[in-house]
Chain A
Amino acid sequence: MPLQAAAAAAKLLKVCRRQEENHQEGYCSIINTLRLEFTIANMYHSVSETSHPLQTEEQEIGIDPLQSYLHKPGEGGSNENGSTHHTSDSDGTFLSYSKEWEELFVNNNYLATIRLKGINGQLRSSRFRSVCWKLFLEVLPQDRSQWIKTTSDLRTSYTKIKEIHITNPRKAGQQDLIINNPLSQDEGSLWNKFFQDKELRAMIEQDVTRTFPEMQYFQQENVRKILTDVLFCYARENEQLLYKQGMHELLAPIVFILHCDHQAFSHASEAAQPSEEMKVLLNPEYLEHDAYAMFTCLMKTAEHWFSTFEHDSQKEKDVMITPMPFARPQDLGPSIAIVAKVNQIQDHLLKKHDIELYMHLNRLEIAPQIYGLRWVRLLFGREFPLQDLLVVWDALFADSITLNLVDYIFVAMLLYIRDALISSNYQTCLGLLMHYPPIGDVHSLILRALFLRDPKRNPRPVTHQFQQNLDYYKARGADLMNKTRASAKAAPLNINKVSNSLLNFGRKLIAPAMASGGAVGAPAGGSSFPPPAMPIRSAVEAPQHHQQHHQQHHQAQQQRMMKSESMPVQLGKGQSSKNISSSPSIESLSGGREFTGSPPLSASKKDSFFSTISRSRSQSKTMSRKESEEELEAQISFLQGQLNDLEAMCKYCAKMMNTHLGNIQEVILQEHLEKEDEILVSLAGLKQIKDILKGSLRFNQSQLEAEENEQITIADDHYCSNSQNKGTGDVLKGPVMTKQQFVSGRQTTTDSSTSENKSADDYIMVSKEEEGSRSAVPEPAQSLQAHKEAPVKPEAPSRSALIFSDPLMGSISPSSSNLSSSPDDDSSNNSKDSDFAIVSPLDI
């Protein structure tokens, strides 16, 4: 019975939605497909239910309160609206149906209301979405009294257009046979036109058959015909543009929402007499006509993104001026509007909001048109599942007919995956960009975009970046597997790849010279760079999954702190850091790394990481433009000042954390609680965070992934173990120990003191030193100390493992298997780090 099925599905959806809100990213795709199927299924149910009037009524009663709740303006977040609302897509009463109509359209300032709703994602389940879109796209005038007239005007005009363009030469009446015969090549011949049309139609049909292949709706022959006819008429009406691939993807969602609204209307109109306006606006017979009208209006904005028409002025310039010697490939090509647009987005907007990501993409030479053309042209149609896409479009259209929100959504999308991008290589980046990862809450993306555009008038989406990355990482392990495979496919498409490798080669050639120069001028620039405590964020995230609330609370606070620190710093540094990187002083990787001894800062992670990236870019930069040295100096010192501030702050945080953690631990140990062990484990996690704050612990992405997948957050407690075994010269132990030590850390975390931490610091230095010594750049005292320790390290693991594992194994055997991945992680850390050390002179 469809009724029960619908109710069950609705419940399921609600549950899923809640999980989604808990950032269970993995569910998202499932939910989305569910949603889709459900909507469709619902549609068909409603059709079948028409023969059972009784059933319909039952359903209406059941659903009524829900709906009245839903339609109260401003009540509940958009998310909740979205989740529950689907049930009402087609089976509401006419009362609620007309009520929705009134709420949307019957008041003085209705346009502002629906715009707001659109931006807030509250049209997700509206049954008048098509009407809203018509208003947004200015298909309908603001004056409601004109609606009916405008609609019928548009419809008749489409009928005429169709008559003109979709012709049958056989019914052309008596024309001159010399002109009008099948073989005629006369311009005015209908037959000639017929054959030209046939080519165009074949082209359109080819694309139309591939539109949303996963949706049954678009497989129907009549729907395909509608799509083809509309696109064909549009192409004929716009001879300059004709039909371009991708237009069908813009039209399809429009047709779909019209269809959905028509279904809802025909269902609701069974219960009572709809108003004249509704009858006209939602007349299913005119789906094609309305779709055409909306599509043309949408294309008014979007058409220049499809045009491949080159600007004449640019052409002349190209002829006159030989290309710039160091111009990027994307700057050299002919200036097509869309290419200019995506370049502008990346070069200006992205640069402004996240220079680090911008530099990274530039370094990998991922030109924005590789992925951006599709994003913009299809208005992100391939990036989101249909139901989410519609929400994005709600906002896009509602915001303005000029669709200028597109640029910011573009940037917001990049920012959403920024961490993943930055820590990835070329292939993975391409994979991420070409197969955009599923987004839990599309609405947050929109909020983000709004904030990016106008930070003053739109609230900062508080949880946004952090939460999203958290979400993303969860799904990421599995995701990346697909991604890399996918990116392998995508890679050959890119011509830049070759030039990329060439450029890398060039860099290597240049590197040694730069490095040697760098050693001399190093101290100032180099010392300011703390070690890459890069994935702080992820380390913090990991323990969060444990269900211990008080700790979660702690961490959450910490995260917030860290975020608020790092954000402004990063923005502020945007400009100057570029300059820093181009100074030769930090040319060698070790320059930055070996200063681990000095307490590093958590907030500096981005900077240090950034330096590695920007450094490699700097070669080309320094070559292409000479910047004045004084300016550089000034900026460097400014940066250093900021870094020092941050350093101090982090130190303070670490210290305070240490004290408080110690207190907590003591109390807990005295209490002899039942689940003491778990609490202690979590405390150990907190200590790890403290150490990250302090800068003595570093880790990276792969570690994070492993942790998240296996749910063993504390696995990498290098220090806890160190602290326990401190007396025995455990500095030498090395990272391999962590497995077994995990338990010891758990039991004895209490006695962590500053001296222990010191030993941990030493250990870290050892591992870094490995890399540092390779690059063979003379460094101040701390690094020397590290140098001494380096050679001892390799033998350490086996030895220490034997010594310390026994007592621990007994107590922790169940979890030890989980932890087994940590040594691998460590090794991958190193290799991954060295990935970034592109400049290393020893590569040659």
Chain B
Amino acid sequence: MLVLVLGDLHIPHRCSGLPVKFKKLLVPGKIQHILCTGNLCTKESYDYLRTLAGDIHVVRGDSESLNYPEEKVVTVGQFRIGLIHGHQVIPWGDAASLALLRRQLDVDILISGHTHRFEAFEHENKFYINPGSATGAYSALEMNIIPSFVLMDIQASTVVAYVYQLIEGDVKVERIDFKKY
């Protein structure tokens, strides 16, 4: 089952739209679920995501115009997945703080955003994903952001995360495996 993870689009405030090469990759009919870390900013972005998959979950970012929940827990296959934008976790993107939140939510995978920098790591046998910014919008701290998103292929008790990054005009793909114990 394919789950698209992305966020921090900041359209139209910081970026005009998704990179063309990403748009080409994202076609309807392949993806079953979308988990969005927020900051879609406009309804149009949300509507675009809806065209890709029927099931879409969004949490509220810090510059959101629509009202979404602060955090969400979604179950896909055997995995409980926690979803949060990440501006609430201080320091931003800190592993220990995220672990605290993960324990609170009691999830197997915690997805957060806000830093605009892709990150995926295992910590205490749990999986943490930060898909970065799909548009490459600047963050509060950095100007040069690599556009990126993550696609999770969830099969029973394993997750294969494909990381798509747009580096110097080319799409690079990485693959990270995670198994639940």
Judging by beta carbons under 8 Å apart, are A185 and B153 in contact? no
Which residues of chain B come closer than 8 Å to A185, judged between CB atoms?
24-25, 27
A178 within 8 A of B: yes
Judging by beta carbons under 8 Å apart, are A183 and B160 in contact? no
B169 within 8 A of A: no
Judging by beta carbons under 8 Å apart, are A177 and B173 in contact? yes
Q: Which B residue's beta carbon lies closest to that of A183?
A: B25
**A178 CA to B25 CA, complexed, in Å:** 12
Residues of B within 8 A of A (CB-CB), count: 18
Cβ distance B112 to chain A, nearest Cβ, rounded Å: 23
Known interface pairs A177-B162, A195-B29; A182-B155 also in contact (CB < 8 Å): no
B171 within 8 A of A: yes
Secondary structure dominating the interface of A: loop
| Best-buried of A178, A183, A184, A195 by chain B (most CB within 10 Å) | A183
Judging by beta carbons under 8 Å apart, are A182 and B151 in contact? yes
- Encoded as 1 (CB less than 8 Å from any B CB) or 0, chain A from 160 to 178 comes to 0000000000100000011
A181 within 8 A of B: yes
Known interface pairs A170-B155, A177-B173, A195-B29; A182-B24 also in contact (CB < 8 Å): no
Cβ distance A47 to chain B, nearest Cβ, rounded Å: 34
**A170 CA to B162 CA, complexed, in Å:** 12
Q: Which A residue's beta carbon lies closest to that of B152?
A: A182
Which residues of chain B come closer than 8 Å to A177, judged between CB atoms?
162, 173-175
Judging by beta carbons under 8 Å apart, are B153 and A183 in contact? no
Cβ distance B165 to chain A, nearest Cβ, rounded Å: 12
**A185 CA to B29 CA, complexed, in Å:** 13
- Encoded as 1 (CB less than 8 Å from any A CB) or 0, chain B from 139 to 181 comes to 0000000000001010100001010100000011111000000
**A181 CA to B162 CA, complexed, in Å:** 7
Cβ distance A195 to chain B, nearest Cβ, rounded Å: 6
- Encoded as 1 (CB less than 8 Å from any B CB) or 0, chain A from 181 to 198 comes to 111110000000001000
Which residues of chain A come closer than 8 Å to B175, judged between CB atoms?
177, 181
Which residues of chain A come closer than 8 Å to B171, judged between CB atoms?
178
Judging by beta carbons under 8 Å apart, are B26 and A182 in contact? no
**A183 CA to B164 CA, complexed, in Å:** 10
Besides the contacts A177-B175, A181-B173, A183-B26, what 19 more A-B pairs have beta carbons closer than 8 Å?
A170-B160, A178-B172, A178-B173, A181-B151, A181-B162, A181-B164, A181-B175, A182-B2, A182-B30, A182-B151, A182-B162, A183-B25, A183-B27, A183-B30, A183-B151, A183-B162, A183-B164, A185-B27, A195-B29
**A170 CA to B154 CA, complexed, in Å:** 11
Which residues of chain A come closer than 8 Å to B2, judged between CB atoms?
182
Which residues of chain B come closer than 8 Å to A195, judged between CB atoms?
29-30
Cβ distance B105 to chain A, nearest Cβ, rounded Å: 27
Which residues of chain B come closer than 8 Å to A178, judged between CB atoms?
171-173
Which residues of chain B come closer than 8 Å to A181, judged between CB atoms?
151, 162, 164, 173, 175
Cβ distance A639 to chain B, nearest Cβ, rounded Å: 67
Cβ distance B133 to chain A, nearest Cβ, rounded Å: 18
Residues of A within 8 A of B (CB-CB), count: 9
Q: Which A residue's beta carbon lies closest to that of B155?
A: A170
**A170 CA to B177 CA, complexed, in Å:** 12
Which residues of chain A come closer than 8 Å to B160, judged between CB atoms?
170
Can you pick out 27 interface pairs between chain A and chain B where the beta carbons lie within 8 Å of each other?
A: A170-B153, A170-B155, A170-B160, A177-B162, A177-B173, A177-B174, A177-B175, A178-B171, A178-B172, A178-B173, A181-B151, A181-B162, A181-B164, A181-B175, A182-B2, A182-B30, A182-B151, A182-B162, A183-B25, A183-B30, A183-B151, A183-B162, A184-B25, A185-B25, A185-B27, A195-B29, A195-B30
**A182 CA to B26 CA, complexed, in Å:** 10
**A178 CA to B173 CA, complexed, in Å:** 6
Which residues of chain B come closer than 8 Å to A182, judged between CB atoms?
2, 30, 151, 153, 162
Which residues of chain B come closer than 8 Å to A170, judged between CB atoms?
153, 155, 160
| Best-buried of A178, A182, A185 by chain B (most CB within 10 Å) | A182
Q: Which B residue's beta carbon lies closest to that of A178?
A: B173
- Encoded as 1 (CB less than 8 Å from any A CB) or 0, chain B from 27 to 45 comes to 1011000000000000000
**A181 CA to B164 CA, complexed, in Å:** 10
Name A123-181 residues within 8 Å CB distance of B. 170, 177-178, 181
Q: Which B residue's beta carbon lies closest to that of A176?
A: B173
Which residues of chain A come closer than 8 Å to B155, judged between CB atoms?
170
Q: Which A residue's beta carbon lies closest to that of B175?
A: A177
Which residues of chain B come closer than 8 Å to A183, judged between CB atoms?
25-27, 30, 151, 162, 164
**A184 CA to B26 CA, complexed, in Å:** 9
Name A194-233 residues within 8 Å CB distance of B. 195
Which residues of chain A come closer than 8 Å to B25, judged between CB atoms?
183-185
Q: Which A residue's beta carbon lies closest to that of B26?
A: A183
- Encoded as 1 (CB less than 8 Å from any B CB) or 0, chain A from 752 to 781 comes to 000000000000000000000000000000
- Encoded as 1 (CB less than 8 Å from any B CB) or 0, chain A from 223 to 259 comes to 0000000000000000000000000000000000000
Which residues of chain A come closer than 8 Å to B174, judged between CB atoms?
177
The 5 A-B residue pairs with the shortest CB-CB distance in the complex, in nearest-first order? A183-B25, A177-B173, A181-B173, A181-B162, A182-B2
Cβ distance B180 to chain A, nearest Cβ, rounded Å: 16
Q: Which A residue's beta carbon lies closest to that of B162?
A: A181
Q: Which A residue's beta carbon lies closest to that of B2?
A: A182
Cβ distance A197 to chain B, nearest Cβ, rounded Å: 13
| Best-buried of A177, A178, A184, A195 by chain B (most CB within 10 Å) | A177
**A181 CA to B175 CA, complexed, in Å:** 9
**A584 CA to B123 CA, complexed, in Å:** 98
Which residues of chain A come closer than 8 Å to B27, judged between CB atoms?
183, 185
Q: Which A residue's beta carbon lies closest to that of B174?
A: A177
Which residues of chain A come closer than 8 Å to B164, judged between CB atoms?
181, 183
**A177 CA to B160 CA, complexed, in Å:** 12
Q: Which B residue's beta carbon lies closest to that of A191?
A: B30
**A170 CA to B160 CA, complexed, in Å:** 9
Cβ distance B67 to chain A, nearest Cβ, rounded Å: 30
**A178 CA to B165 CA, complexed, in Å:** 11
**A215 CA to B2 CA, complexed, in Å:** 36
**A182 CA to B173 CA, complexed, in Å:** 10
Cβ distance B6 to chain A, nearest Cβ, rounded Å: 12
Which residues of chain A come closer than 8 Å to B173, judged between CB atoms?
177-178, 181
Cβ distance A179 to chain B, nearest Cβ, rounded Å: 9
Cβ distance B37 to chain A, nearest Cβ, rounded Å: 19
Q: Which A residue's beta carbon lies closest to that of B30?
A: A195
Q: Which B residue's beta carbon lies closest to that of A174?
A: B175
**A235 CA to B29 CA, complexed, in Å:** 21
Which residues of chain B come closer than 8 Å to A184, judged between CB atoms?
25
Name B1-60 residues within 8 Å CB distance of A. 2, 24-27, 29-30
- Encoded as 1 (CB less than 8 Å from any B CB) or 0, chain A from 369 to 406 comes to 00000000000000000000000000000000000000
Cβ distance B176 to chain A, nearest Cβ, rounded Å: 11
Which residues of chain A come closer than 8 Å to B162, judged between CB atoms?
177, 181-183
Cβ distance B168 to chain A, nearest Cβ, rounded Å: 14
**A195 CA to B164 CA, complexed, in Å:** 19
**A183 CA to B2 CA, complexed, in Å:** 10
- Encoded as 1 (CB less than 8 Å from any B CB) or 0, chain A from 307 to 347 comes to 00000000000000000000000000000000000000000
Q: Which B residue's beta carbon lies closest to that of A179?
A: B173
Cβ distance A304 to chain B, nearest Cβ, rounded Å: 32
Cβ distance A350 to chain B, nearest Cβ, rounded Å: 47
**A170 CA to B24 CA, complexed, in Å:** 22
**A33 CA to B172 CA, complexed, in Å:** 62
Cβ distance A172 to chain B, nearest Cβ, rounded Å: 12
Cβ distance B93 to chain A, nearest Cβ, rounded Å: 25
Cβ distance B68 to chain A, nearest Cβ, rounded Å: 25
Q: Which B residue's beta carbon lies closest to that of A199?
A: B29
Cβ distance B121 to chain A, nearest Cβ, rounded Å: 19
